[in-house]
Structure 1
């Protein structure tokens, strides 16, 4: 249960628990990198056979990409992955292994919880011995289902454990009253993640569906389940469910997806669904609820009623098994990896158990680990430096608003009000939560995960109807990411990303402005993208635009959507400009703000000398390109353009740069795909 907006608007796509357990390669534990040895920009990455105005990504990163293919344990590999590997597989690994070497740690302490959770994941002997018996209490409840009403209640109990079903509750700030928490209901239950996987007719997507059927059949056989034709049964049911759901583009509309009703009205919209029982088992008590899509509520309930009970029970078994598959014996775990990592994303090999144990411990005990992480690896001086950077970006954004020709004075006044009210968090939380009630023991992996999940569930339930705690974080300190939360009107930068290549204390200003300053500008711009611009200075879903200004803004956004729609990343697979527009606007805005902030900082000073033969203007763009350098498997690219609100890395580099006259001037472009006519460029902020 979590508000969706903060994670939707992050710098990177959200990574699932199972995915992060299959995302890195092996490295021995050791100390942190000495940042003084990390060059501001490594010129050996450059492919000088390519002209910067033809393909800037290939020019800047061509040799890097040639020398850094996607490792067998990855589906993507780039700057984010490399830094994440440093944080998790070296720094956190050292912390965790040190704790695991100690004995007699006091029960309930964070050190004991971290140590014993790590041990429970690494203990494959016990995992093999137990088989699927840790799931038996939940399987028994599914087997005992006699009616659809029973199925609804059991589905509610399973959702407490994070197991997906056709409908879901989550708790978050009320979009129209952002100071108070409310209960939301949204769509869910698709194993393939997004409805296009059930609808596309191309051969690659058909193959995914065929492999999915085989995967479910094999997993049921491995678990000893006796359901007949489970794979086709699940695919058929989820295909019907997918037809009822909104697309990921439609889900971007915060107005259309805000439908606040009395709980009694929810029951009238879908009388076939036992909402009272569903809410009761989740301890959800509320007089009102915010629906994502009224039609889905009605139609999904009718689908459930029309579906044979045995199919619903098969579906519940599948969702339960799939949710915990990565924590079960090797055969089940490997098959889960084969489909969701290899088939879906092109990851060839699962990483060693040690690295998976570190990642799993971080995924479950992230904040207690984060407390230890920042003590060792995040100096207070970095916090102060980033704070200064944020204020510089704020000042430049205000100047950019004043210079806009397409926005009226009335809307500019409101934009300034919103900009002034932006708050920010840097590094780590000011207060740490008490996790002592989470019961973690050696040899009980699934029970440990469930205990942590129950803690989080109670934490969310306790928020219902209460004021929003704006000190909450959506990401752990060690996360290599950042986000903007429109409901708090805040930008957040965890300690994990405040390291090279994003922020290098020993780099020249141009490289850092193209890196961390552009990232800061990216998050600021989310407050004014197609979604964030619909929230006011208080974080409420409220229109603060004149009709003419809104029309002007959307005209520019639609031109940018059209531009990205034209980018084909693989045969038959184009970037979805409407899905990625928020992130694309944020990239364009972030670069614009960072460049002009750098330019402003140099006024009245002698022009910086060239470094490695590049001017400061050129090095700014080198800084941006090295942040986004990366390789990807074809399967991961196909998955990304169907499900991810972020464009692929190469398009995040080249796409916005083609629209910046400053880039054209810096590199003297007179032709090539990076050169657009002034009338073709999109300038928003």
Structure 2
């Protein structure tokens, strides 16, 4: 078989030099001429694969028998005539307990019951592995309750215009539904709740957000909210009461006071809005469009609502993703892909092992712990070994909101059933048809769903350079999360424990701080200078990117079996050039201004231009590959370049 480079050089920029702007060199012409589809906030390599996976998934869903779970869910979403004819009648079962409540305690019970059916409340909760004992499931409690993306939207001047539009949206939704919640009341209460939220940087801290308590202890620390009544309403098992993990303890204390000191009618107005906001996408076309006008257009910049079939596919996947995934794997994931990925992952792990051994800033004792953690990594590729059972989920083709309630309750019961049982390490947090990947610290596992294993990330018939630059960097990135500023706080078994010497942690943080400072200096070219990358928020992902590319390059050399410099040219490109271009192609993306502003505030990933330029300018081999010299725009003095792993 004749290998090809997997690279189309006709797409390269004739005006942007690699040495000045590597992102634009690879993707400039695409960025200049490619329109973002009107129904989305961004487009690029990930989205190309998502479109393909969505089309495959649509076929599977539309071919499903009408009486099946998949068929009934999809039919209920696509029956526009019935959805429109019902108006807001589907909300009545949600609203009745709110209106009937005569006390704060009764309203807390109503809120808990609503949360079971998918309506967000002021306290979030989920079941997950205990960070201190990762074989045990516990209940985590988290801050919640906002209609805007983040607490910063309620306090920063930069978001003042968005706040005004949110208030207008609240009034519009009240008008469309005929329900009693006015923007001034809801905004004032949400602002009071947001004031107690931790910011996005603080909530990244693994130790700060792990605070074991009990239901009784929580009631003592956060008086004013009827915790026992609420726990009963969400059907938290009694066996879970003796060990809860409070994510942001000061929030719970403060929000309990807000709960007690705010009058009942204000809370009722707030909960009416929470019901409408949580259900809007499943109500009439007019209400769903108004919901999109704010969350899709104002916050993300999209100008057109996604076609109904796309939203229907998303609904089915959200409810029964693994049921769809079983068929997706049968049709679209050849066994040979998994075999190639096994080799890639093996080489990446070996490259990390060699790199750790060669580190000059880490002591031997900590190196041994790092190597032990690396040995305990669990790769998961393609799809789970066992599939979820959906036989207990009862849905019908003529009750969309009822199906939503049933699906949420089904999910809740599935989660609660984990309490008292060992953690199931075979569980996946993504479906096979999801174009993404993740590292899970409490399991020390890296997971690569089937759908990401496609070009430009993975070319089964291309030369190794572009594959190691593409999917290899993704693999390296996810492994790198095990050794980033937060993942490095977990042991090889997934336990949150300090296995570093103080000197090694300090040396690591010195390098991480250099990276934070680099990224603090970046402002996306399409926005004004006031919009800057938050280096502290993005440092974990930036470390993942940097480590991913560094280690993928070493893994490529392992695959070659000889120095990279001896690899042949293909299509006039050296192996090093092909590798770095392969990486840049995976980060090809353009984002609408509105969405980019939101992402800068809330997303731990840096904008794509800096995931490319900000990374390669730290890597000596990139300088060699493209003959970068002092005076070029991306030049960094050698002492300013960061290398961690």
Whether the TM-score (by the shorter chain) exceeds 0.5 is yes
CA contact (8 A) 2:3 2:462 kept: no
Deviation of 1:152 after TM superposition, in Å, equals 1.2
- Find the partner of 2:603 among 620, 644, 666: 644
Pick from 469, 472, 476: which aligns with 2:424? 469
Say yes or no: does 1:216 pair with 2:170: yes
TM (norm. structure 1) is 0.91
Q: Is the 8 A contact 1:38 1:500 kept in 2?
A: no
2:11 maps to 1:56: no
Q: Does 1:579 align with 2:537?
A: yes
Matched residue, 1:674: 634
Structure 2: distance between partners of 1:648 and 1:280: 43
Give the counterpart of 2:387 among 412, 432, 435. Answer: 432
Q: Give the Cα separation in 1 of the matches to 2:498 and 2:566.
A: 43
Contact 1:44 1:64 in 2 (8 A): no
Q: Secondary structure at the match of 2:212?
A: strand
Could you tell me how far apart the structure 2 residues matched to 1:226 and 1:276 are? 29
Hey, what does 1:33 align to over in structure 2? none
Whole-angstrom distance in 1 between the partners of 2:59 and 2:514: 49
Give structure 1 stretches of 5+ with no counterpart: 1-35, 106-111
Q: Tell which deviates more after alignment, 522-531 or 167-176.
A: 167-176
Q: Tell me whether 1:45 sits opposite 2:4 in the alignment.
A: no
Aligned to 1:527: 482
Shift in Å, 1:526 = 0.4
CA shift, 1:70, in A, is 1.0
1:396 equivalenced with 2:351 (yes/no):
yes
For the Cα contact (< 8 Å) 2:215–2:228, is it kept in 1?
A: no
For residue 117 of structure 2, what is the aligned residue in structure 1? Answer: 161
Query: Aligned partners of 1:515 and 1:491: how far apart in 2?
Result: 16
CA distance in 2, matches of 1:197, 1:242: 9
Q: Is the 8 Å Cα contact of residues 186 and 270 (structure 2) preserved in structure 1?
A: yes
Aligned to 2:493: 538
Query: Is the 2:37–2:43 contact (alpha carbons within 8 Å) kept by the matching residues of 1?
Result: yes
Question: Take 2:514 and 2:383, find their aligned partners in 1: how far apart are those partners?
Answer: 38
Distance 1:406 1:337 in 2: 51
Question: Which stretch of structure 1 is more off in the superposition, 472-481 or 462-471?
Answer: 462-471
Return the alpha-carbon distance in structure 2 between the equivalents of residues 464 and 76 of structure 1.
Answer: 39
Please give the residue correspondences for 1:95-244 in structure 2 after superposition, counting only pairs within 5 Å.
Answer: 95-99=60-64, 105=67, 112-202=68-158, 205-227=159-181, 230-244=182-196
User: What TM-score results when the alignment is normalised by the length of structure 2?
Assistant: 0.97
TM-superposed CA distance for 1:416, in Å, is 0.4
Q: Is the 8 A contact 1:118 1:361 kept in 2?
A: yes
Instruction: Indicate whether 1:248 and 2:188 are aligned.
Output: no
Query: Aligned residue for 2:40?
Result: 74
Gaps of 5+ in 2: none
Shift of 1:37: 13
Distance in 2 of aligned mates of 1:444 and 1:86: 29
Separation in 1 of the partners of 2:83 and 2:561?
Answer: 63
The CA distance in 2 between the partners of 1:355 and 1:474, in whole Å, is 22
* In structure 1, C-alpha distance between the alignment counterparts of 2:636 and 2:125, rounded to whole Å: 46
Aligned pairs, number: 636
Query: Residue deviations 1:562-613, cap 9 Å, x none?
Result: 1101101222110111111110000000000011111233344893332232
Q: Quote the offset at 1:38 in angstroms.
A: 10
Q: Is the 8 A contact 1:258 1:292 kept in 2?
A: yes
Is this contact kept in 2: 1:44–1:63, CA < 8 A?
Answer: no
SS of 1:574's equivalent in the other structure is coil
* Residue 482 (structure 1) aligned with residue 442 (structure 2): no
Query: Where does residue 373 of structure 2 map in the other structure?
Result: 418
1:249: how far off?
A: 0.4
CA distance in 2, matches of 1:71, 1:211: 23
- Alpha-carbon offset, residue 98 of structure 1: 2.1
- 1:343 and 1:178 mapped to 2: Cα distance? 41
Residue 297 of structure 1: how far off its partner (Å): 1.3
SS at match of 1:541: coil
